[in-house]
Structure 1
């Protein structure tokens, strides 16, 4: 039996996060990152997106109101990756994060992309990134993709905000 192959148009549609406090979570996802609320169910759930899509991020307290993040060393979400269309919009988002006083946990140049890492108020990992054009992706002599983890120059990135 051969391994199944997904159509190339397949995408990850949305992420649904359990949060402890909906207002606090909205303060990050809406007020700092800039997602727009498309639908809200009182203080128990909100559905947010960019550009009017039904939702890219859903937040709910259905099983987690007042809860705490899972302790280190346990399974769960590593991070949600938010793909920005260009370097300038990534820089603007990182600038908003820093202005809000949210600590950055890392910043890497992966060759194929530039990424900044942080956590939301519930301890969920968040990656803010932009892809380079595929023609610029690093490849070895055989044409295989070569991803790296190098230091990202945050100063240069933020200069574009």
Structure 2
């Protein structure tokens, strides 16, 4: 059972953006722009700001303290991963298709009951999670009504089947690589 804080934060609070330290902006940028599809909104020396849908920025890549640097060693503290929430399962499937098309390998793919998630690394070895949340009424619950998360393998072919309707409508077969 989780413990409630004495003074809980307002439920409307959201995490607004993340800044990632990268070694080389021009090497890092294609992953977030060309593979994931974020748009560049602003650039300044040593930094690129990117968003989905015209927001000022969801992700910023910067070299202010990391130009030419190396990823943290295993066992070091720091960011485990950033998580990018997709509004629908179909859009998560499209993200998977983009990764496959770009030849980017997954570290893992999990069904957590409350969500489905893809795990990978960007070109600077930063952990990235791409996920969608199931509707709250579908979240698994324990006998006391608490959230009961799990970690089970995610069926990637089933996820990609979300795109089959689009391909069939366009008259194109959906190619899925193993």
Per the alignment, residue 86 of structure 1 pairs with: 88
- Whether 1:26 and 2:29 are equivalent positions in the alignment is yes
Rounded to whole Å, the distance in 1 between the matches of 2:12 and 2:114 is 19
Per the alignment, residue 122 of structure 1 pairs with: 124
Per the alignment, residue 38 of structure 2 pairs with: 35
Rounded to whole Å, the distance in 2 between the matches of 1:3 and 1:142 is 21
Compute the displacement of 1:3 (Å).
2.5
- The structure where helix makes up a greater share of residues is 2
What is the total number of aligned residue pairs between the two structures?
A: 159
1:81-106 per-position Cα deviation (integer Å, ceiling 9, x unaligned) = 00000001000011101211111000
Compute the displacement of 1:4 (Å).
2.5
The structure that has the greater radius of gyration is: 2
Per the alignment, residue 110 of structure 1 pairs with: 112
Runs of 4+ residues over 6 Å off in structure 1: none
- Whether 1:3 and 2:6 are equivalent positions in the alignment is yes
Rounded to whole Å, the distance in 2 between the matches of 1:39 and 1:106 is 32
Any unmatched runs of 5+ in structure 1?
none
Any unmatched runs of 5+ in structure 2?
164-178
After superposition, the CA RMSD in angstroms is: 1.0
Compute the displacement of 1:28 (Å).
0.3
Using CA pairs below 8 Å that are at least 6 residues apart, which structure has the higher relative contact order? 1
Per the alignment, residue 73 of structure 1 pairs with: 75
Compute the displacement of 1:140 (Å).
1.3
TM-score (norm 1): 0.96
Question: Alignment partner of 1:77: what SS?
Answer: coil
